[in-house]
């Protein structure tokens, strides 16, 4: 067993509880304390210890949560950061510089897309977006300057689960880093490094934290990659606050058991929605009719806690549906213990026209549901009433 309590032979539930924890000793705390100190005594290089300063990401809470994430992902190292976007931007800046090129999926979180399309070009880093429905497009988009291939899995909000193979093979051909935003999948539903992902990225705000009470991000990968990302985090200032690191670690302790239930309830709800009048379409990778069902069943250990539905009555019906819920509630996040709903046309895809959203498979009437840990029957009752309320009364 290594000094941080991590045994690579352990399974994910054991890692979640024990990895990264402090020493077990009589009189010691069972739960590591929050260390608020921003700096740590250090007499100089002869001290034999690293210079510790919380912006460097090496405060005890920052280090222990990183060790827990590395154990869960099965990677050499990991880093917790101040947000999912800090994790994404620090990783991209670590791997690409002026003159370099990125190949990225068209199915990306909105802010990630904006970073690639509008912000990184200001720093001389360009991106070619590739439709992952065309596996050959990855190789075709490579240039001599490609340094990163970037994917997301499952995608938001259409829950597509594209095969990792084609972007991985393209990245290998180019000698580029394969980076993957695995926020929706979590290390419980897939250990992405085993599939060849070099930089496994999370918005830890979502399932890893799991309680909608913190903003955080994470990157897992080789020690060399994490050193490069850490350098960007130090320079651009995206380190995580020790309190958030502690809360994140507390959340991760129950990640496996939460995911088991998220997976189970979401699949049951998706099957149930398929038989509800007023619901035109149900989107969930666990349903045989989903375009990537076979790929998801092959790659994932669970289909995830997200379900999207399209209501018959379009945007007005979706508005009525959301405002009629009494257990679930509208809020633009996911991955917490409570069920949340959101309409992409009001949130992530508000800047697109209805026709552009249609083309992406997000027609008006589309509602994304982050299925929480409530009792299935209570959720069904809430959704049954809200679907009924979404249909305008006959005149």
Residues at the contact surface with ligand PLP, assessed by CB under 6 A:
83-85, 109, 111, 152, 156, 181, 183, 203, 205, 215, 217
Residue whose CB is less far from ligand PLP, 8 or 332: 332
- Quote the CA–CA distance of 390 and 352 in Å, as a whole number: 24
End-to-end CA distance of the chain: 71
Minimum distance from residue 92 beta carbon to ligand PLP (Å): 12
Give the integer Cα–Cα distance in Å for 38 and 40: 7
Strands of 89-198 (E only): list them: 101-105, 126-130, 146-152, 177-181
Give the shortest CB-212-to-ligand PLP separation in angstroms: 11
Annotated catalytic sites, by residue? 55, 109, 181, 206
Segments in 33-131 forming alpha helices (H): 60-73, 84-95, 110-114
∠ at Cα 167 (357, 75), nearest 5°? 110
- In whole angstroms, how close is the CB of 77 to ligand PLP at the nearest point? 20
Alpha-carbon span 381 to 379, nearest angstrom: 5
For residue 327, what is the DSSP state?
Answer: S
Q: What does the alpha-carbon distance between residue 4 and residue 235 come to, in Å, rounded to a whole number?
A: 27
Of the two residues 90 and 390, which places its CB atom closer to ligand PLP in the complex? Answer: 90
Q: Which residues of 251-279 are buried (b: 16+ CB within 10 A; e: fewer)?
A: bbbbbbebbebbbebbbbbbebbeeeebb
State the minimum distance, in angstroms, from the CB of residue 152 to ligand PLP: 6
Shortest approach of ligand PLP to residue 187 CB, angstroms?
Answer: 15
């Amino acid at each position: 067993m290594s000094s941080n309590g991590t045994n690579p032979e352990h399974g994910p539930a054991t890692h979640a509880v024990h990895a990264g924890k402090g020493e077990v000793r009589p009189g010691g705390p069972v739960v590591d304390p929050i260390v608020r100190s921003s700096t740590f005594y250090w007499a100089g290089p002869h001290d034999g210890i690293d210079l510790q300063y919380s912006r460097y990401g090496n405060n005890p809470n920052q280090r222990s949560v990183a060790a827990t994430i590395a154990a869960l992902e099965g990677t050499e190292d990991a880093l917790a950061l101040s947000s999912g976007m800090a994790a994404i931007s620090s990783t991209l800046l670590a791997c690409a510089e002026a003159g370099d090129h990125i190949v990225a999926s068209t199915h990306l979180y909105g802010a990630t897309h904006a970073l690639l399309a509008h912000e990184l070009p200001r720093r001389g880093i360009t991106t070619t977006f590739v439709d992952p429905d065309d596996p050959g497009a990855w190789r075709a988009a490579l240039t001599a300057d490609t340094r990163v291939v970037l994917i997301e899995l499952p995608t938001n909000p259409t829950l597509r689960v594209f095969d990792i193979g084609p972007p991985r093979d393209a990245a290998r051909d180019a000698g580029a880093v394969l980076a993957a935003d695995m926020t929706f999948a979590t290390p419980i539903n897939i250990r992405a490094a085993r599939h060849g992902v070099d930089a496994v990225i999370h918005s830890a705000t979502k399932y890893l934290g799991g309680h909608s009470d913190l903003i955080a991000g994470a990157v897992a990968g080789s020690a060399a990659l994490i050193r490069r990302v850490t350098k960007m985090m130090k320079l651009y200032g995206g380190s995580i606050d020790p309190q958030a690191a502690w809360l994140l670690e507390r959340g991760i302790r129950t990640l496996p058991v939460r995911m088991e239930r998220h997976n189970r309830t979401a699949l049951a709800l998706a099957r149930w929605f398929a038989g509800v009048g007023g619901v035109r379409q149900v989107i969930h990778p666990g349903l045989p009719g989903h375009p990537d069902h076979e790929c998801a069943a092959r790659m994932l250990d669970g289909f995830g806690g997200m379900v999207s539905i399209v209501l018959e009555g379009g945007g007005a019906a979706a508005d009525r549906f959301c405002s009629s819920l009494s257990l679930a509630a509208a809020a633009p996040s996911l991955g917490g213990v409570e069920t949340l709903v959101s309409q992409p046309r009001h949130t992530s895809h508000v800047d697109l026209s209805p026709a552009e959203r249609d083309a992406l498979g997000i027609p008006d009437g589309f509602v994304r549901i982050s299925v929480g840990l409530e009792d299935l029957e209570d959720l069904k009752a809430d959704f049954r009433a809200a679907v009924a309320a979404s249909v305008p009364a006959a005149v």
